[in-house]
Structure 1
Amino acid sequence: MADSTLLFIVLGATLAAFVWGRFRYDLVALSALLGSVILGLVPGEEAFLGFGHPAVITVAAVLVLSRGFERSGVVDVIADQVLKVGDRLFLQLLVLTGTVVVLSGIMNNVGALALLLPVAMRLAREHDASPSILLMPLAFGSLLGGLTTLIGTPPNIIIASYRGSITGETFGMFSFSPVGVAVALVGLAFIVLLGWRLTPQRAGKASTEAMFDTAHYLVELRVGEESKANGLSLRELQEELEETIPVLAVVRDEKRRAGHAFFGTLKEGDILLMEAGPEEMKLLEDKADLSVGKDAEDEGAEESEDDNKAQRTSETNQRDSADEEKDRGSDKEKKGKEKDKNGVDTEGLQLVEAVVRTDSMMVNRTITQLRLHNQFGLHLVAVARDGGRLKQRLHEIRFRPGDVLLLQGGESELAESLATLGCLPLAKRDLNLGQPRMLLLSLGIFAAAILAMFFDLLPAAVALSTAALVSLLVGVLPLREGYQAIDGPVIVLLGAMIPVGQALETSGGAALIAESMLVWGSEWPVIVTLIGLFVLSMVLSNIVNNAAAALLMAPIAASLANGFGASVDPFLMVVAVSASCAFLTPIGHQSNTLVMGPGGYRFGDYWRMGLPLSLVVLAVATPMILLVWPL
C-alpha cells in the first residue's frame, strides 16, 4: 500500500476521533504521530522533533507573556475602563468586542477572552441583560483579533514557520496585519451592527439565579440524638452516605461555620445547611437519620410533587405569610437570633461560579477522581451545562469544557485552586490594578521583543522566549505561574501534528490533493481555487483544532502554488486566515467552547451569526490577500 494511502487512513481516523470528541485532542494527535511512526510514515528518530519546532516554542512563550500581562495589571487597567461603558447595548458590544480584538493581537486570543469574560458577565448582570448577547460576539471578536499579528493565534505562527522551512524566510510580526486588520475591522462592524441580532437571546439563562436555583435546593437538617451523623465528621458522613452531597454550613450555638472549613465532629442539635434535592433528602433521612426542618420539608415537597405544584405553591405561600407574621413577633423578643431560623440564609457562604476551560484537568473526570475537597478545599454545589442545571447526582457527573460550576471554598485559597484546576471564575471580581512598576516593566519587555523581531535582530521564537525568560527573572510573573500558563494539551497537539503534517508532504499526499484541486480548477481563474482552499480550510477548522487545520492545510497550499507556478504567499495567507475563522461550531476553537456554558448556547446556535460572519471574512480577506500578496 502506498505511503500516501496509509497516511490518508491515519488522517481520516484522526479527524474522526477529533469529531467524536471521546478523547482529548492532544491524545488523538499523539496517537496519530505514534501510528505514523509505526507505519513507517515518520522516521523514528524524527518523531519528537516537532516539540522543538519554532512554532511550538513561540506559542509557549506567548502564553507566558500573556499571563504576565494579566499578572502585572495591564489588562485590568483596560477592563476597569470597559466597566464604565454604561447601559447602552451598542456601546457595550463595541467596547467589549473592540477591546478583545485589540488584546488578541498582542496576546493569545484565548487568554484575552478569558480575561474579559468575567467583565462581560458583570456588565450583563449589572444592567439586567442576557449574557448570551455579549458572549458570542466576544468569542468571535477574539478570533478576529488573532488574525492581526504573528502572535495572535497559533495558525499564524505555524504558517510563518512553514514559510521559513520552504523559502528560508518567515513571515514577520506584522506581515499579517494588512489583511488581518481589514478583516477584523469589517468583522467588528458586522458583529456590532448586525451580528449580535442573530444570536439567541436566552434571557436569564446564564444568570446565577437561572442556572443555580439554590432557593429550591438548600435545606436545613438537624442532627438528633439517635442520628447516625452524631459524632461523625463531614467526610465520614459523606462516606457513610456514599454520596458527595455538599454541606455548605454547620450551625452550632447560633454560629455558622462554612462547610469546607469545618473539620470537627457533628453533635446533637447541629443544623446542617445542605444542597439537596428530593432524592438526596430521602437518602439523608433514611441513611443518616437527619430530620428535615419544616421549611426544607415544604421545599422538598415542591420539588417532588410537580403534578400539584400550583396547589403546593399556594399552600407554601400561606405558610410563608404565617411564618413572616410569627417572625415579626419573635423579632421583638429575640432580636438578632432569628437569622438562622427564618428559612435558609446563604449570605457569606463564599459561593463562586467558574467555567471549566478546555485545558482543565477536570475534563472527563468526576468529583471523586479529582478529590475536590481533600485536594483543593472546595465543595461542588451544582453544575450547569448548556445554560441549565444538571439534575443528576454530583458524583456521577463527568465534567466537560464549558460546564459552569457553583463552588464553595475559602476566599484566600479560591483563586489558586481554580487556577490549578483550570477553571475561569465568572463571579464579580475586584479589579487588581497591579504594581505600576511591573505594569510598565512588562510592557517594556514585550516592546523590546517586538522591536527585535521587527528589525530582524532575532527570530520570533528566540525574541519571545527571551522576553518570557526576562519576565520570569525580574518577577513580573512567578515561575510557578509561568509553567501553569503553558497550555500543555496545545503544546502536545502542535508537537505531535507537525511531523504528521510534514509526512503529508513527503508521502506525496499533499501533492495528490493539490493535483485534484488543480484538475477541478484548471478551467477557472486561480482566485476560484483560492476560494475553494479558503472554504476547505475553514470547514476543517470548525471540526478540528485550528492549529491542526493549519498544519494539515499548509502543505496542500504550497503544492497548489507550485502547481499554478504562483507565489506561495497568498496561498499560505489564505490558510492562515481561514484556519482561524472557526465561527460555525463550539468545538472549532477554545474561545467558542469557553462561552458555551455561561452564555447558555446550544451546539446549533453558533452558525446563525457564524455563517454570515464567515462569508463576510471570505469576501474581505480574498481580495485583500491578492492585493497585499499578489500571485
Structure 2
Amino acid sequence: MSEAIFSIAIIIIMFALLITDTYEPVIIYFATLTVLITAGVITVEEALVGFTNEGMLTIAALFIIVGAVQKSGTIFNFVNRLFGKNTGGRKSQLKVMVPVTLLSAFINNTPIVAMFIPLVRNWALEHNVSPSKYLIPLSYASIFGGLLTLVGTSTNLIVSGLLEQYGEKGLGMFEITYIGLPLAVAGIFYLMNVGYKLLPDNEDLLESVKKRHREYLVEMTVQPHCKIIGKSVEKAGLRNLKGLFLVEIIRQGQSIAPVTPTEKIQSGDRLIFTGQVSTIVQLQSIDGLKLETSSDAYLDRFKNGQAQIVEAVVSESFPFLGKTIKESSFRSRYDAAVVAVLRNGERIRDKIGNIKLRPGDTLLLLTGKSFINLWGASKDFYLISKVQDYEPHNGKGNLAVIAFGAMILLATSNVLPLLHAAFLAVAVLLLSKSITLKEARKAVNWNALFIIALSLGIGNALTESGAADLIANALVSLMQGFGPLGLLFAIYLLTNILTEIIGHSAAAVMVFPVAHSGAMQMGIDPRPLAIAVAVAASASFATPVGYQTNLMVYGPGGYKFKDFLRVGLPLNLLFMVISVAVIPYIWPF
C-alpha cells in the first residue's frame, strides 16, 4: 500500500511539472522513472521494459518507412492535384478532410499535416478564404484517420503492445476501424455543419506581415555622412540594442541575412531591424541614420519574393526549449533571423533575443537560401510554411510506396506480425538505398520514442506497486451502481482528460494498467476498456497541446486557446457519447 501511494504521489508531481511546463517532457519522465527505481518501486529491468516493447519498436520502424514514402514525393503529387476551384466553404472543407482522413489511416499524421498546411493556406488565400476555416479541421481530420487502422497513430500500436504484454491478443490491423469509421463520419459531419460556424475568420499571418510590415520591421538608411560607416555591426553599437535586432542589410539591391557581428556598414546600406518598434529613438540618435517612413520598397520585396520570410512552428523536439533566442545562437545555427514570435495567437512584444521559446511558438524567420533544404524536414520544427519542391518520384520512390503497401498486406493477412513486416520493409528500403542511413535517423522522432519508452516504464511501476489496482478499485467502487458501462465511461473520461494534459501516448500508457486492473476486479473482458483507452487518448480536440497536429496549426491559423475549446470540446463530448454507446456492442464485456 505504501509503495502504491508513493507511486501515485510521484506521478501527481510529474503531472504538475508537465502542466507548468517547468522542464522538457522527456526530462520530467526520465526523472520520474529514476525516482521510482531509486525508491525500489521497480527494478531497472522493469523500468526499461518500454525500450523493448513491440509497439514502440514498430513506431520507430514506421517513422523510417513514412520518411521514405514522404521523400518519394508520391503523396505530395497526389495531394497537389486535390485542390482546384473553390466550391464553397463546407464543400471545400470536405475536400480537405476526406483525403487527410484516409491518408492518416496509414501514414503518420504529422508529415501529412505538415504537407497539407502550406497547400491549404495557399489555396485558401488564392480564393479569398481565411485559412483559419480549414486548419483546425485539417488537424482534426488527421486524428480521425488515426483511428481507422492499427498503424494510424502511435497510440493504437502502444495499446496493442500493452494488450500483448498483459497476456491478451493484440489489435488487428482493421479491428479499431469498427469504432473509428463511425467516429470519423460523425466528426466530419459535425465540422461541416457546426464547427464551420464556430471557427474564426482570421487574417493569414504572413499576409498580415506583408500588409503591416512596419509593425514588425524598422528600416534605416545609412547616409553618406553617417559616423558608423566602415565600422563593424558590433563596433557600431548595432549588436546589443535595447528592444531591437538587426535582421538584414540590403546593399545595392542584394540581401545580407543573417547579419554577422563583423559585417561592416557601408554608405547607402538599408538596415532592417525587428523587435519593439517603439524603441527606434536609439537609432534616430545616431547621426546619419535616416528612418524610412514613406517608402514601400520593403513591401515590394515581400511581393516579389526577394525577402524570404518563412513561418516555422517550434516542436517539442526543439533542442533549445526554455532558452532565450540569443542563448540558443539561433541565427548562426539555423542561418535565419527571427523577425517575430507569436504565442497563443498574440505577438510577443519583447526584444527578440530575450524571448524563451516554447513548443507551439510560431516564428517568422528571415532566412538564407539554404534554410529550406537544411531544416525543411527537421524535427526541430513542426512546419515550414514554404512548400518544399519535390522531384518526380523515380523507381526508388515507387519502391518506398510498394514496401509500405507490402508491409500492410503482410500484417493484415497474418503472414507476418506487424513488427516483423515493418522491419522487413525498413531493410528493403535501406538495402535498395531508397532512404539512406542518415535520412533514416533524421526521419525518426527520437524525442517521441523516448517519451513513449519512459512512459511505459512508469506505467509498469503503476502495476508493480499496486497503484493501478488502488485507482481501479476506487473507480469500480465509484461506478458500482452503473456496472461495466459505468467503468467504461470512467476510463474513457480519465484518459481523455489526461490526453489534453500530458499528450496521447503517455495518457494511454498511464491509464491502461488501471483499465486492465478494473476489468479483472469486475470480472469482465478488458478489450472494450482497451479500445476506449485507444480512442479517448487520440480524441484530443479541446486544447492545442494534447495532440501535436493541433500544435502545428495553432500559430499558422492565428488561433487562440479558446478557439480549440469552442470547436473541440463539443467534438470531445460527441466522441465520448458515441464510443461509450457503440464499443460494448462490438466488443462485449
The residue matched to 2:556 in structure 1 has which SS?
A: helix
Q: Which residue of 2 aligns with 1:364?
A: 322
1:164-313 matches, cutoff 5 A: 164-199=164-199, 201-204=200-203, 206-209=205-208, 213-216=212-215, 217-222=217-222, 224-225=224-225, 227-232=227-232, 238-239=238-239, 241=241, 245-252=245-252, 255-260=253-258, 265-275=264-274, 277-286=276-285, 289-293=287-291, 296=292, 299=293
The Cα of 1:80 is off from its aligned counterpart by 0.7
Matches of 1:602 and 1:350, distance apart in 2: 26
- Specify whether residues 171 and 452 from structure 1 end up closer, same or farther in structure 2 by C-alpha distance, changes over 3 A only: same
- Specify whether residues 239 and 95 from structure 1 end up closer, same or farther in structure 2 by C-alpha distance, changes over 3 A only: same
Matches of 1:482 and 1:137, distance apart in 2: 30
The Cα of 1:3 is off from its aligned counterpart by 0.8
Q: Which amino acid aligns with 2:321?
A: V
- Specify whether residues 210 and 87 from structure 1 end up closer, same or farther in structure 2 by C-alpha distance, changes over 3 A only: farther
1:62-141 matches, cutoff 5 A: 62-141=62-141
Is 1:24 the equivalent of 2:24? yes
The Cα of 1:93 is off from its aligned counterpart by 0.9
Q: Which residue of 2 aligns with 1:331?
A: none
Q: Which residue of 2 aligns with 1:396?
A: 354
The residue matched to 1:444 in structure 2 has which SS?
A: helix
Q: Which residue of 1 aligns with 2:366?
A: 408
Matches of 1:65 and 1:605, distance apart in 2: 34
- Specify whether residues 271 and 83 from structure 1 end up closer, same or farther in structure 2 by C-alpha distance, changes over 3 A only: same
Matches of 2:214 and 2:26, distance apart in 1: 41
Q: Which residue of 2 aligns with 1:490?
A: 448
Matches of 1:379 and 1:210, distance apart in 2: 15
Q: Which residue of 1 aligns with 2:154?
A: 154
Superimposed CA distance per residue, residues 160-191 of structure 1 (whole angstroms, 9 cap, x where no aligned partner): 01111122532122221221122112212221
Q: Which amino acid aligns with 1:605?
A: D
Matches of 2:412 and 2:378, distance apart in 1: 36
Partners of 2:54 and 2:161 within 8 A in 1? yes
Superimposed CA distance per residue, residues 51-76 of structure 1 (whole angstroms, 9 cap, x where no aligned partner): 22212211112222222222111221
The Cα of 1:384 is off from its aligned counterpart by 2.3
Count how many residue pairs are aligned between Structure 1 and Structure 2.
Answer: 585
In our comparison, the structure showing a higher alpha carbon Rg is: 1
Matches of 1:515 and 1:374, distance apart in 2: 55
Matches of 1:434 and 1:235, distance apart in 2: 49
1:496-535 matches, cutoff 5 A: 496-535=454-493
Matches of 1:616 and 1:410, distance apart in 2: 46
The Cα of 1:580 is off from its aligned counterpart by 0.9
The Cα of 1:87 is off from its aligned counterpart by 4.7
- Specify whether residues 226 and 600 from structure 1 end up closer, same or farther in structure 2 by C-alpha distance, changes over 3 A only: closer
The Cα of 1:212 is off from its aligned counterpart by 7.8
What's the RMSD between the two structures over aligned residues?
Answer: 2.6
Partners of 2:314 and 2:361 within 8 A in 1? yes
Is 1:477 the equivalent of 2:435? yes
Higher share in helix: 1
Q: Which residue of 1 aligns with 2:588?
A: 630
Partners of 2:109 and 2:142 within 8 A in 1? yes
Matches of 1:372 and 1:223, distance apart in 2: 30
Superimposed CA distance per residue, residues 100-140 of structure 1 (whole angstroms, 9 cap, x where no aligned partner): 21121111122322221112221222222222211111111
Q: Which amino acid aligns with 1:213?
A: R
Partners of 2:150 and 2:173 within 8 A in 1? yes
- Specify whether residues 158 and 5 from structure 1 end up closer, same or farther in structure 2 by C-alpha distance, changes over 3 A only: same
The Cα of 1:35 is off from its aligned counterpart by 1.0
The Cα of 1:226 is off from its aligned counterpart by 5.0
- Specify whether residues 417 and 370 from structure 1 end up closer, same or farther in structure 2 by C-alpha distance, changes over 3 A only: farther
Q: Which amino acid aligns with 1:108?
A: N
Q: Which residue of 1 aligns with 2:47?
A: 47
Alignment gaps of 5+ in structure 1? 300-319, 324-338
Matches of 1:561 and 1:79, distance apart in 2: 44
Partners of 1:48 and 1:496 within 8 A in 2? yes
Partners of 1:219 and 1:276 within 8 A in 2? no
The residue matched to 1:246 in structure 2 has which SS?
A: strand
Q: Which residue of 1 aligns with 2:509?
A: 551
Partners of 2:218 and 2:277 within 8 A in 1? no
Moved over 6 A (4+): none
Matches of 2:339 and 2:389, distance apart in 1: 26
Q: Which residue of 1 aligns with 2:499?
A: 541
The residue matched to 2:169 in structure 1 has which SS?
A: coil
The Cα of 1:578 is off from its aligned counterpart by 0.8
- Specify whether residues 521 and 344 from structure 1 end up closer, same or farther in structure 2 by C-alpha distance, changes over 3 A only: closer
The residue matched to 2:150 in structure 1 has which SS?
A: coil
Matches of 1:498 and 1:513, distance apart in 2: 18
Partners of 2:223 and 2:290 within 8 A in 1? no
Identity %: 25
The Cα of 1:446 is off from its aligned counterpart by 0.8
Matches of 1:559 and 1:245, distance apart in 2: 57
Matches of 1:391 and 1:82, distance apart in 2: 39
Partners of 1:110 and 1:591 within 8 A in 2? yes
Superimposed CA distance per residue, residues 297-354 of structure 1 (whole angstroms, 9 cap, x where no aligned partner): xx4xxxxxxxxxxxxxxxxxxxx6xx9xxxxxxxxxxxxxxx96x9975441222222
- Specify whether residues 624 and 434 from structure 1 end up closer, same or farther in structure 2 by C-alpha distance, changes over 3 A only: farther
Matches of 1:630 and 1:222, distance apart in 2: 77
- Specify whether residues 72 and 610 from structure 1 end up closer, same or farther in structure 2 by C-alpha distance, changes over 3 A only: same
Is 1:434 the equivalent of 2:432? no
